[in-house]
């Protein structure tokens, strides 16, 4: 896309990456690959409740069980599908990355009753410690993809409004 900016009629200096859940992990992996390869220049990344740690060791990973939506058992199974017989590296599981410097400004949100809560908070903290401008929102009472399942709820409306405002600020 960046190589074809003229043909596609967009400003390559306003390129951002967005994804939720496993797509949030891929958002971060894409940003790390772009940094490591030196192309394309990304202005912003928005991993939403990203799935980034295959180890399943955080307290929230042990709290969210037996709900049938996205709980511990589902997460373990998803990582097995994703990794197959392979081992996770920093691109497959961004929580394993040692160097977070040079990543684009980041917006992360996650709910208090989301399996990924603790890994996402820890990752956002590491981004800030690495000097990456990072905005983190932890939404009280929100479960994984709550804004998708209950789009008319007041909380969902606030979640979307904050995301859209962050995108506007980043791409202004």
Kindly list the catalytic residues.
21, 114, 144
| H or E element at residue 154 | helix 154-171
Which helix (H) or strand (E) segment is 76 a member of?
helix 72-83
In angstroms, the CA 151 to CA 159 distance is 10
Distance CA 103, CA 31 (A): 6
Rg (CA), the chain: 16
Please state the φ and ψ torsions of residue 32, each to the nearest 5 degrees.
-65, -40
Q: Which two tokens stand for residue 6?
A: 């003229």
Residue 38 zone, left/alpha/beta (φ > 0; ψ -120 to 50; rest): left
């Amino acid at each position: 896309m960046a190589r074809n900016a003229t043909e596609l009629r967009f400003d390559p200096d306003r390129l951002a990456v967005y994804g939720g859940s496993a797509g949030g992990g891929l958002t971060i992996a894409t940003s790390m690959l772009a940094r490591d390869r030196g192309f394309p220049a990304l202005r912003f990344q928005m991993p939403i409740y990203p799935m980034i740690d295959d180890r399943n060791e955080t307290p929230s990973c042990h709290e969210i069980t037996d709900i049938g939506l996205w709980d511990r058992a589902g997460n373990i199974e998803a990582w097995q599908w994703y990794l197959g017989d392979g081992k996770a590296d920093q691109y497959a599981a961004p929580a394993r990355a040692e160097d977070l410097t040079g990543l684009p400004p980041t917006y992360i949100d996650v709910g208090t009753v989301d399996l990924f809560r603790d890994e996402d908070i820890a990752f956002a903290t590491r981004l800030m410690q690495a000097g990456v401008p990072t905005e983190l929102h932890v939404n009280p009472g929100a479960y994984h993809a709550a804004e998708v399942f209950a789009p008319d709820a007041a909380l969902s409306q606030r979640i979307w409004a904050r995301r859209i405002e962050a995108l506007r600020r980043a791409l202004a």
